[in-house]
Amino acid sequence: MTTVTFKGNPIELQGTTVQANQPAPAFELLNGSLETITLANFKGKTVLLNVVPSLDTPVCAIQSKTFFSKLQNIPVELVTVSVDLPFAQKRFCGAENIELQTLSDHRETNFGIGYGLLLPNLRLLTRAVIIIDANQQVKYVEVVPEVTNEPNYEAALQALEQVVAAKV
């Protein structure tokens, strides 16, 4: 089990945290139209999963907007995952005037458990960045040690460049 801190307090994540070089675990998430989206929807595509506790918080908003701006010219599916309701995710995108693909794990938290990213007592996802290649293999994982901190954008972007280059 992986432990992170939230405002300095340790929290053990539920599930086994996904690792690089393993098959991406299956998941079922909801999009803004309340349709179920699964890992199979991304077959053949490189995906950066931008995992955040809640888009209604400043650090999550900064993280999501940063990846959105940095990935504009990179052939990758940027997917922001949180336990926010799909309506709240859609409201965030409208308020920020960005077309961000958001998926919600609020119903069953199967993504959070399957990827080992669920903060069980808070019923939130921890902050993480996961890159999955076109063959649905996990290539990069950063679980941010302190939930209130931003991820290492440069490390994620370097890993993404390697995955995209390997695909060509």
pLDDT tens string 42-92: 999 999 999 999 999 999 999 999 999 999 889 999 999 999 999 999 999
Owning domain of residue 127: 3-167
How many C-beta atoms lie closer than 10 Å to residue 94's C-beta?
Answer: 10
Residue of 30 and 98 predicted with greater confidence: 30
Long-range contact set of residues 74-77: C-beta below 8 Å, sequence gap at least 24: 74/160, 74/161, 74/164, 75/46, 75/164, 76/45, 76/46, 76/47, 76/48, 76/160, 76/164, 77/42, 77/45, 77/46, 77/47, 77/48, 77/101
What is the pTM for the complete model shown? Answer: 0.95
pLDDT tens string 103-161: 999 999 999 999 999 999 999 999 999 999 999 999 999 999 999 999 999 999 999 99
Q: What pLDDT is attached to residue 168?
A: 54
CATH of the domain at 71: 3.40.30.10
Residue 165 has pLDDT above 60, yes or no: yes
Cα angle value 157/126/2 (rounded, 5°):
95
Q: What pLDDT is attached to residue 98?
A: 87
Q: What pLDDT is attached to residue 157?
A: 96
**Looking at the annotation, which residues are catalytic?**
60
Q: What pLDDT is attached to residue 102?
A: 96
Q: What burial letters (b/e) apply to 108-127, b meaning 16+ CB within 10 Å?
A: ebbbbbbbbbbbeeeebbbb
Cα separation, 121 vs 118, in Å, equals 9
Name the 3-class secondary structure at 45. coil
Q: Are 20 and 96 in contact (CB under 8 A)?
A: no
Domain count, the chain: 1
